[in-house]
Amino acid sequence: MEPTELSMLELGRKLGSGELSSVEAVRACLGRVELFDGQVKAFLEVDREGALAQAEAADRRRAAGKRAGPLDGVPVGLKDLFLTEGLPTTAGSRILEGFVAPYDGTVVKLLRAAGTPILGKLNMDEFAMGSSTENSAFFPTRNPWNLETSPGGSSGGSAAAVAARMVFGALGTDTGGSIRQPAALTGTVGLKPTYGRVSRFGVVAFASSLDQVGPMTRDVPDCAALLQTIAAYDPCDSTSAPVKAPDYLADIEGGVKGMKLGLPREYFELPGMDPEVGGAVEAATRALEKLGAELVPVSLPHTRYALATYYLVAPAEASSNLARYDGVRYGLRAGDVANLLAMYGRTRDQGFGLEVKRRVMLGTYALSAGYYDAYYLKAQKVRTLIKQDFVDAFRTVDAVLSPTSPTPAFRIGEKVSDPLAMYLNDVFTLPCNLAGLPGLSVPCGFTRANLPIGLQILGRPWDEARVLRIGRAFEREHDFHRRSPPLRAS
């Protein structure tokens, strides 16, 4: 077996036993990047020398009996909005092209402390605004399962790199589904933790009340191990919660016998859901029932307002957060301008892409005098109702099941000219962000065209351990997560 076919934990065990070295693992990943990234285009920056140096340090630690942990020496990748000292951090935008981070964000520090070599920075929709990675200012990423299709977004580069075996795991961010939706479309595992579980310090912000950092891996135990590495209270982040993370691997094999799993009517009766997606997810729920879970109908009645609510709250926060990109302090600065105001305007016009401009304008409008109460304030009230729906449901069930995405991977270019069609990709994922809940996507099948399908598992706040346990119970009985994309070297 090639080293790149191992899971993170399997590689960690082989590193610990001396069967493989971290340098060999990094070189194997770099070999996959050289062979396939010209087709997939997952990476914006490959740090070959830095990753090899980190791997050599990991090998020296093991030789000295000072292993940093179970993932010491296991190569990972980062979505390109994590500040990483000495490496470019662009957030997929021209306005930050050439910006080199002066320090590591908190999760990057935690990865370094765990000994994981960072292979490089991965492509994304600009400022995480998108569902296809086509909004990257540099190039679209392609889905390893079918290079004519999208890997989803905004963490499409992270998902594609994991699926194509270029890295063993990666970090993404999820504001409305940007970890879970690309995980579903690429046959990988993606977790959005509870809001506040993982520090956002040193992460380029999109919508601060929604953004959350999470792991993207090939199987559920790896997801748990990577979450364990980054889940820690951080006083540098005012939204970080002082809630101690449990041992996510301790009970992950405990199964679902006796659990009550909710099936929300509103999620399964969506017009336009692909029938193959619906069939695969229904089969997955029946499989969990056979494993001892009880399936319970539940209602989330305000779900139908979630899309509209999200597209008021998120753009409003983006409008505020992106005001800092003015050409004065860092990033792009337009030249040949007559005055400061003209420099602001031209810098932002040249630096921001169409989708970012669309959302900034929408958010600025929603926050403007005379419209705040009618739009933003009302959206926040509806957000409370959506959260209450989940509170009510969790009084009777342990978790909620649904499709992750209403369709499998779509063709690149298919939805670019129709923003609403693109936004509908996140119809099942964004209520979780509005409510601040943990959500997991696990592979649950394939279409006749051999495109992956994802099952979404939503849990109570701070209950990632149960969500992971449910995902693992399903995963153990199936081989969907073990299948590899049909990539061929060009």
Question: Active site includes 257?
Answer: no
Contact 197, 214 (CB under 8 A): no
Q: At what angle do helices 464-476 and 275-290 cross, to 10 degrees?
A: 100
H or E segment and range at residue 65:
none
Active site residue 178: yes
Torsion of CA 398, 401, 404, 408, to 10 degrees: 160
Q: How far apart are CA 431 and CA 177, in angstroms?
A: 9
Contacts of 113 (CB under 8 A, 6+ apart): 68
User: Letter for the amino acid at 280?
Assistant: A
Catalytic residue from among 7, 21, 79, 158: 79
Token pair listed for 355: 């989708």
Taking the C-alpha atoms of residue 272 and residue 347, their distance in angstroms, rounded to an integer, is 40
Q: Which of 178, 199, 405, 441 is catalytic?
A: 178
Catalytic residue of the set 131, 136, 150, 154: 154
199 is catalytic: no
Strand partners, 442: 455
Query: HSE on the CB side for 317, CA within 13 Å?
Result: 19
Q: Which two tokens stand for residue 321?
A: 């957060």
Contact yes or no for 69/116 (Cβ under 8 A): no
The encoded tokens of residue 239 equal: 């939204």
The set of catalytic residues is: 79, 154, 178
